[in-house]
Amino acid sequence: MTAWIVRQPSRDDQSSRDDAGRTSLSLDRSDHSCRRARQWARAALADWSHPAGGGIVDDALLVMSELVTNAVLHACGPIRAHLERRPDGSVRIAVDDGGPAASSRPHELAGEHGRGLEVIAALAADHGRTTALPCPYRARSWATLTAGDR
């Protein structure tokens, strides 16, 4: 399991970055969290010299969207997204949450939902879910992307 090194964010910015290629972002449980996570991930990947519009960047943004959306819709507690650039050029995305909610938010168009994990499986070299993290987080969904995954 990857150990995440996170500096305390300032009051104005709920994200943190370190020089080793890791960054984390605290998110609220709102409809805007997915867009905010994508913008943050795009900026981090650009800082790490991943070319905009490159295959791994587009895939990373889609995977980030899917993982954050699942946390907002189906989990409880706080949400924290993580992004890590690895020395081999791969990117690891993780989203921590408080574990399964007693009831999920309803889908307006049930036929258009429920394919997020299939998308992640198609794009990622590896993915999964870890449970029993320290409070306040109880679960982590993650995916690792490499340039040659597709």
Identify the pLDDT of residue 13: 43
Q: Which residue has the higher pLDDT, 21 or 4?
A: 21
Copy the structure tokens of residue 143. Answer: 């995916």
Identify the pLDDT of residue 7: 34
Mean pLDDT of 68-84: 94
For 137, residues 6+ apart whose C-beta sits below 8 A from its C-beta are 77, 78, 80, 96, 97, 98
**pLDDT tens column, 134-143:** 788 999 999 9
Give the C-alpha distances (Å, rounded to integers) separating 135 from 1, 13, 83, 131, 138: 17, 22, 20, 11, 6
- The answer on pLDDT for 11 being more than 50 is no
Residue type present at position 58:
D
Which of 113, 115, 120, 119 shows the shortest CA–CA distance to 142? Answer: 120
| CA atoms 81, 140, 123, 109: torsion sign | negative
**pLDDT tens column, 91-149:** 999 999 998 888 655 555 445 566 888 999 999 999 999 987 778 899 999 999 997 65
Copy the structure tokens of residue 95. Answer: 């989203």
| Beta carbons within 10 angstroms of residue 95's beta carbon | 29
Order of strands, edge to edge, in the sheet holding 22-27?
15-18, 22-27, 79-85, 91-97, 139-145, 126-131
Most trustworthy range by pLDDT among 42-51, 53-62, 64-73, 95-104: 64-73
